[in-house]
Amino acid sequence: MKVSQIVEPLKAEIVVGEKIEEQDIEGGYCGDLLSDCIANAKEGSVWVTIQSHPNTVAVAVLVGMPCIVVTNYQEVGEETVQRAQKEGITILRTSLTSYQAVSILSSLGIPGTKRRG
């Protein structure tokens, strides 16, 4: 599934997303603790979180996650936007809660994934 296909179902605003037509999503991860996400999220996942700090972009890059879905309509600051643009990470923003967002992604057939080992 492409990142572009989850925008509408999530009723999301595209904060950064020049590559949504090309970016593939193979699974999903949900969490707000960066140490948890970096250790457990799998490459190619969409990441659902309430965090919108610039360092979430660093975590997405390190794990290899193409897209961050920021829930609860959290503010996404300019620093985060610039960093995401530079790294080619998509940021979607929705007023849904993380649970609601995950439910929708799951109904679209995106499985929850976890890094092995």
Partner 1 sequence: MNEDKVLMEIERKIMGGDFQSAGDVSSELKKVLQQVGFPPSFNRRVVIAAYEAEMNVVIHAYRGVFTTKIYEDRVHIEVNDQGPGIPDLELAFQEGYSTAPPHIREMGFGAGYGLSNMRRCSDKLEIDTRVGEGTKVIMDFFLNSDK
Residues that bind partner 1 (CB under 8 A): 32-36, 38-39, 43, 49, 51, 53-56, 58-59, 61-62, 79, 87, 115-117
Question: Cβ closer to partner 1: 23 or 49?
Answer: 49
Least Å distance between CB 95 and partner 1? 20
Question: Cβ closer to partner 1: 35 or 107?
Answer: 35
| DSSP per-residue codes, 10-41 | TT-EEEE-SSTTT-B--EEEE-S-HHHHHHH-
Distance, CA of 96 to CA of 117 (rounded, Å)? 32
Q: What are phi and psi of 25, to 5 degrees?
A: -115, 125
Least Å distance between CB 51 and partner 1? 5
Number of residues written out for the chain: 117
Question: Cβ closer to partner 1: 40 or 100?
Answer: 40
Least Å distance between CB 116 and partner 1? 8
∠ CA(115), CA(97), CA(10), 5° rounding?
Answer: 80
